[in-house]
């Protein structure tokens, strides 16, 4: 008698919709895919596109959890398709696009537009007060512990999972969200960035920034890079309260 385990037949329910087709309406479609060893949802989606329906839209670039483009709702929870093993899921899997972002079609969303606005609004780059940029000064030695702390926060891949997982943004779309607050924490830590606490207060010292966060914790729960979002948000809140008391 063979000990070989029979492969599962996965039933993949996908929310399909083409917002550019006036005839189309959002609807579910189900595809059957035989599970293989080490299968990820990214592989599943490619199988569907190759063997069942080549019009299925979804995004990917790196297949290694680095580019952040394959984020989607998996059984209602934001995840990266390329880092999600089917073996961790049941036989019935439901996929939908992340909410809040512009829908391109099916599972493909336009996170880039949202992230670009966020980065421009929060000015997520090193601000040096000196007019002439002194490159040597930028290369000044930094303590390895501090460099590691900055690197840890720089691991954000702008996937949007924390945005989709935050109830506050659902109610107030102008809220910066954990992704933005994480970026501010990162630049505030960086000794090359010469913005004062007051200048940071201007950026996030309101309801669209740090005081809008209701500590719902969804962001940290769903972040595929396991960033310490909660502790950074708590740190920024303390810092902003102190700054507001100085004024
Ligand atoms: Fe994605 Fe985490 Fe960055 Fe949010 S903080 S965009 S969940 S990597
Ligand atoms: Fe949203 Fe995270 Fe705050 S889920 S409300 S940003 S703790
Ligand atoms: Fe790049 Fe999934 S394809 S993170």
Query: Residue 231: is its pLDDT beyond 90?
Result: yes
* CATH annotation of 9-109: 3.10.20.30
Residue with tokens 């599962």: 8
pLDDT of amino acid 87: 98
- Pocket of ligand 3 contains residue 46 by CB under 6 Å: no
pTM: 0.93
On whether the CB atoms of residues 103 and 94 are closer than 8 A, the answer is: no
Helix or strand holding residue 218 (H, E): helix 218-222
Q: Is the dihedral of CA 81, 87, 88, 94 positive or negative?
A: positive
Q: Which of 175, 241, 238, 161 is nearest to 208 (CA)?
A: 175
* DSSP secondary structure, 102-115, as one string: EEEETTEEEHHHHH
What spacing in Å lies between the alpha carbon of 42 and ligand 3's midpoint?
9
Pocket flag, ligand 3, residue 171 (CB < 6 Å): no
Cα separation of 34 and 6, whole Å? 10
Q: How far is the CA of 9 from the centre of ligand 2 (A)?
A: 37
Where are the extended beta strands (E) located within 106-184? 108-110
Q: Left if phi > 0, otherwise alpha if psi is -120 to 50, otherwise beta: which for 130?
A: beta
Region 37-47: mean pLDDT is 97
In percent, the amount of the chain with pLDDT more than 90 equals: 88
Indicate if the pLDDT at residue 2 is higher than 60: no
Terminal alpha carbon distance of the chain:
79
What is the maximal distance between C-alpha atoms in the chain? 79
Q: Which residues contact 229 (CB under 8 A, 6 or more apart)?
A: 162, 178, 181, 182, 219, 220, 223
Query: Higher confidence at residue 135 or residue 155?
Result: 155
Residues of the chain with CATH 1.10.1060.10: 111-133+140-246
Q: How confident is the model at residue 3 (pLDDT cuts 50, 70, 90)?
A: low
Cα distances from 158 to residues 29, 155, 163, in angstroms, run 28, 9, 10
Mean pLDDT of 209-228: 96
Residue 136 pLDDT > 90: no
Considering only CA atoms, which of 224, 223, 120 is closest in space to residue 176?
Answer: 120
| DSSP element (H, E) containing 74 | strand 71-74
- For the segment 121-125, the average pLDDT, to the nearest whole number, is 95
Best residue among 218, 229, 231, 235 to mutate for probing ligand 2, ranked by most atoms within 8 Å of CB = 218
Is the beta carbon of 213 within 6 A of some atom in ligand 2? Answer: yes
User: How far is the C-alpha of 180 from the C-alpha of 209, rounded, in Å?
Assistant: 8
Give me ligand 3 centre to Cα 121, in Å.
25
pLDDT, tens only, 64-106: 999 999 999 999 999 999 999 999 999 999 999 999 999 999 9
Residue range(s) occupied by CATH 3.10.20.30 in the chain? 9-109
What is the third-level CATH fold of 111-133+140-246?
Fumarate Reductase Iron-sulfur Protein; Chain B, domain 2 (1.10.1060)
């Amino acid at each position: 008698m063979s000990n070989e385990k029979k492969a599962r037949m996965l039933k993949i329910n996908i929310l399909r919709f083409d917002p550019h087709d006036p005839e189309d309406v959002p609807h579910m479609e189900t595809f059957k895919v035989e599970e293989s060893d080490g299968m990820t949802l990214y592989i599943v989606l490619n199988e569907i596109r190759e063997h069942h329906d080549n019009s299925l839209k979804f995004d990917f670039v790196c297949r290694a959890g680095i580019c952040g483009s394959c984020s989607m709702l998996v059984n209602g929870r934001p995840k990266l398709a390329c880092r999600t093993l089917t073996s961790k899921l049941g036989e019935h899997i439901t996929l939908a696009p992340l909410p809040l972002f512009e829908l391109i079609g099916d599972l493909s969303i336009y996170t880039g537009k949202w992230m670009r606005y966020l980065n421009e609004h929060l000015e997520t780059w090193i601000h040096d007060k000196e007019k002439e940029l002194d490159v040597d000064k930028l290369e000044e030695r930094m303590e390895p512990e501090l460099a590691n702390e900055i690197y840890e926060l720089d691991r954000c891949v702008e996937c949007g999972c924390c945005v989709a997982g935050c109830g506050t943004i659902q109610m107030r779309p102008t809220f910066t969200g954990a992704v933005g607050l994480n970026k501010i924490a990162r630049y505030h830590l960086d000794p090359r960035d010469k913005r004062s606490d007051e200048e940071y207060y201007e950026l996030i010292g309101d309801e669209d920034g740090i005081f809008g966060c209701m500590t719902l914790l969804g962001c940290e729960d769903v972040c595929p890079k396991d960033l310490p979002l909660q502790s950074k948000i708590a740190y920024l809140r303390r810092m902003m309260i102190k700054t507001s008391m100085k004024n």
